Structure 1
Amino acid sequence: MAVLEVNGLKKIYTTRFGGNRVQALTNVSFAVERGEYVAIMGESGSGKTTLLNILAALDRPTEGEVWLNGRALSSVSEKEIAAFRRQNLGFVFQDFNLLDTFSVQDNIFLPLVLAGRHYPEMNQCLRPIAEKLGITDILQKYPYEISGGQKQRAAVARALITAPQIILADEPTGALDSRASDSLLSLFGEINREGQTILMVTHSTKAASHAGRVLFIKDGVVFHQLYRGGATNEEFFRRISDTLTAMATGGANA
């Protein structure tokens, strides 16, 4: 069953005085099944960020529609949109987006606080997640006191604590060293195997090779897609690399 459906997305930006029109998305359609782990790749300017912003209900398409768990995002009013995001979406960003004046625990609690949940309930939600992510011993520390890998695990905990329909990850390994990246990708694989749907935008072939499917965006359209099947990470890495080379050299769909 599809948790996310994208149909005919088109996005045109117009400059302030209407002098220039930039078409960021032309005709993007795809679906993400519940429990899938999908990576989206493409060069800078290909439309990945625009697509992610529309999926996150941070922007509206010029044409087309997005359905999340059967509800059209266009039907969600501006008044409802913040609550809708908290209830359905978890976000993991490249730069963590943690507040330095809040402890790690309070950063993780933030979406639940905004939803009006009470401390005992929040604490009950946090404990199993903190144990799974290995961050129980840093909950009372502040973001400036912990490593980048620990910050990203805290950000993942914040994304998971609302039990979202889907996690949207924007370059989640971009600010991490190789060891922390490997740890995060292993963690994503684990939570995906437990049933969490993940959609990740990344420039990293290594990160994408951990997904079950890769969508390639070029010039505002879905250029191609690859399914992992029974391939190992190394085999999938090579297939992704070959497709990126074909895209860069103007080759036909792989």
Structure 2
Amino acid sequence: MPLLEVKNLKKIYTTRFGGNQVQALENVSFTVEEGEYVAIMGESGSGKTTLLNILASLDKPTSGEVLLNGRDIVEIKDRELAAFRREHLGFVFQDFNLLDTFSVQDNIFLPLVLSGKSYPEMSRRLTPIAEKLEITDILGKYPYEVSGGQKQRAAVARALITHPQLVLADEPTGALDSKAAAHLLHLFSDINRSGQTILMVTHSTMAASHAGRVLFIKDGMVFHQIYRGAMSNEELYQKVSDTLTVLTTGGGGLA
């Protein structure tokens, strides 16, 4: 059974004035296997952010199902959602979402504190993650004292420390310079190779070229997908770039 199953997902928004309806998602269906690394791409307004919000249980679809390990997260009651997110999902955001009044370590510990974990348990979990992400030396610092790349690696540590079934990343390289972005993407690949399932929404062809599969969303529907197979990052980059050209111009065909 796939880790994540998205079935016939539809989302219609009603505008505040005039009562006009806007269809953000139309009959979206796909699956993600445990251990996969999937990137989702699409133009602004394509529906990919709406899709991510629904997968994160931050929004509910008009119709359809989202099954995580067989459980339909659409049906989870509002009062249970926060605990569900902490226990099953990890989040990495473009703007880091770190609290400046907390040290880097305390920011990483926050989801475990909310879950009632003991300090020894939190410390035991953090040590190998901090070493892997190369942030051991900044744990006592505050977010405003470290670089953007270090902030994002701290945010990744916060996402991983709960041992989530699925990590959802929203434009994780969007606020980073090219060197920090490349470093983060290599870390993501290492994390995925260790068995972590990752689903990333991105505008970046470079970021998508590190994934094992790339899904393209257009006009609220799955338009195309590319499997890495035996392709190198460079070959996948070119394939993604060619697909985006077709996506934006509407010309040509897709193999």
**Cross-structure match for 2:3:** 3
**Cross-structure match for 1:154:** 154
Count of residues paired in the alignment? 254
Give the drift of 1:69.
1.2
**Within-5 A mapping of 1:171-182:** 171-182=171-182
Paired amino acid for 2:152? Q
**Cross-structure match for 2:78:** 78
Give the drift of 1:16.
2.6
Tell me, in whole angstroms, the C-alpha distance in 2 between the residues paired with 1:153 and 1:167: 14
Give the drift of 1:70.
1.1
Report whether the alignment pairs 1:88 with 2:88: yes
Deviations for 1:12-56, whole angstroms, at most 9, x for unmatched residues? 000235521110001100000000000000000000100000000
**Within-5 A mapping of 1:113-132:** 113-132=113-132
Tell me, in whole angstroms, the C-alpha distance in 2 between the residues paired with 1:220 and 1:74: 19
Sequence identity percentage = 76
**Cross-structure match for 1:34:** 34
Q: CA RMSD in A?
A: 0.9
Report whether the alignment pairs 1:220 with 2:250: no
**Within-5 A mapping of 1:157-236:** 157-236=157-236
- Asked if the contact 1:65/1:74 (under 8 Å) is kept, the reply is yes
Point out the more displaced range, 153-162 or 13-22: 13-22
- Asked if the contact 2:39/2:200 (under 8 Å) is kept, the reply is yes
- Asked if the contact 1:223/1:253 (under 8 Å) is kept, the reply is no
**Cross-structure match for 1:59:** 59
Tell me, in whole angstroms, the C-alpha distance in 1 between the residues paired with 2:195 and 2:117: 24
* Greater than 6 Å deviation, 4+ residue runs: none
Paired amino acid for 2:140? Q
Point out the more displaced range, 111-120 or 11-20: 11-20
Paired amino acid for 2:75? S
Give the drift of 1:74.
2.2
Tell me, in whole angstroms, the C-alpha distance in 1 between the residues paired with 2:18 and 2:164: 38
Point out the more displaced range, 10-19 or 55-64: 10-19
Tell me, in whole angstroms, the C-alpha distance in 2 between the residues paired with 1:142 and 1:213: 36
Residue 183 to residue 66, structure 1, CA distance change in 2 (3 Å): same
- Asked if the contact 2:23/2:220 (under 8 Å) is kept, the reply is yes
Tell me, in whole angstroms, the C-alpha distance in 2 between the residues paired with 1:87 and 1:53: 17
- Asked if the contact 2:61/2:74 (under 8 Å) is kept, the reply is no
Deviations for 1:129-172, whole angstroms, at most 9, x for unmatched residues? 11111101100000000000000000000000000001000000
TM-score (norm 1): 0.98
Give the drift of 1:118.
1.1
